[in-house]
Amino acid sequence: MNQPVPRWRSPLSPRRTAALLAFSAFVVAAIIRQLGAIQWEAIQWHPGWIAGAIACLFGVGVCQAASMGLLLRAYGHRLRWREIPAMTWLPAIGKYIPGKVAAVIGVVWLAGRFGVPRRTALLCAVLMDGLAVITGLIVAAPLLAWNPILHGHGPWTLPLAAAVVIAGATALHPRLFGLIADWMLIRLRREPIGARPSTAAMIGPIAAAIAQWLLAGLALWMMTRSIAMIDPRRLGLTISLAAAAATIGYLALFAPGGLGVREGVLLVILSGWIGPPAAIVAVAMRLTQTIVEATLATIGLLALRASRQSPPADRLGGDGG
């Protein structure tokens, strides 16, 4: 029997709202200050790099759709190709609603329309977010070992980075990762799945999660290169920076879509690389990503409408629940 859709509860208490407003004001003030210090006549725009960044951000969306489709398949459910974008890209807009759960609720709500048990859909949505966070921390770990970011603070940076990678890799093991997911379902007052996908079945979702960070980092590097010279040898650190900024923004429950938090992280690190133009990059990445996500959500909506008009016979095999 399908589980009821989880209810959304806003986590924004007056204290958290005040924290969000104060932090956002601090970041906005820092961006405005840096924008005022830019010598705009010296800025040279390179549309080709911007186009490359946009293409990479669309690639991130494709990786997320692949992750969702592969996770559902690992639990015995195969969706039609047009249903996966609807189930992935359309609910993703919910991340801009405070609480980080609206997107998950959207996935669960759509699950019933595609013949997927809501409990399984909830699990896969939680797993996808969990994979993104864990792989994001792993990819971001090199920043901890890059001493200039911490002004050379101590010999503990490299061991700490190694510990993050080892802990993250351990958590990705299907058995342990499944236990974590079941614990999260229990916390959401849902019955745990219990079943564990095979290691082979999890390789695809993990690879897709890592690929999204590689593309996100490449997009950040290209956007930076579009207005300033940046050493190609910093591409690896730029990938780590993109993963760190997005993951920290996701973990900041008070910030819808990581708004302000992600820009703050980018501003701090990029300023040391390219100076005041870092503010342009931080703002441009937010605007570009929002436009890309809105475009993908529109595609998801069109895919949903197309799926409604298709006969059930088109559905691929699998346990429809």
Quick: pLDDT tens for 28-55: 888 888 888 887 877 888 999 999 999 9
More confident residue, 231 or 1: 231
Q: How confident is the model at residue 156 (pLDDT cuts 50, 70, 90)?
A: confident
Look at residue 177 in the predicted model and tell me its pLDDT: 77
**Amino acid sitting at position 290:** T
* More confident position, 16 or 58: 58
3-state secondary structure the chain: CCCCCCCCCCCCCHHHHHHHHHHHHHHHHHHHHHHHCCCHHHCCCCHHHHHHHHHHHHHHHHHHHHHHHHHHHHCCCCCCCCHHHHHHHHHHHHHHCCCCCHHHHHHHHHHHHHCCCHHHHHHHHHHHHHHHHHHHHHHHHHHHHCHHHHCCCCCCHHHHHHHHHHHHHHHCCHHHHHHHHHHHHHHCCCCCCCCCCCHHHHHHHHHHHHHHHHHHHHHHHHHHHCCCCCCHHHHHHHHHHHHHHHHHHHHCCCCHHHCCHHHHHHHHHHHHHHCCCHHHHHHHHHHHHHHHHHHHHHHHHHHHHHHHHCCHHHCCCCCCC
- Band (294; pLDDT cuts 50, 70, 90): very high
Residue 296: CB partners within 8 Å, gap ≥ 6?
Answer: 58, 61, 85, 89, 92
The mean predicted confidence, pLDDT, of the chain is 83
Q: How far is CA 266 from CA 19, 123, 156, 234, in A?
A: 20, 31, 23, 14
Per-residue b/e over 273-284, b at no fewer than 16 CB within 10 Å?
Answer: bbebbbbbbbbb
Tell me which range, 38-47, 118-127, 163-172, 220-229, is most confidently predicted by mean pLDDT.
Answer: 220-229
Residue 101 near residue 1, CB atoms below 8 Å: no
Residue type at 201?
Answer: A
Residue 176, amino acid: L
Apex 88 CA angle, 206 and 219, nearest 5: 65
Instruction: Find out whether 63 and 215 touch, Cβ atoms under 8 Å.
Output: yes
Tokens of 136: 């994001």
Q: Which residue has the higher pLDDT, 174 or 288?
A: 288
Stretch 274-299: mean pLDDT = 94
CB–CB of 68/84 below 8 Å?
yes
Which pLDDT band, with edges at 50, 70 and 90, does 315 fall under?
very low
Say which residue the tokens 């700490």 belong to. Answer: 160
pLDDT band for position 193 (50/70/90)?
low
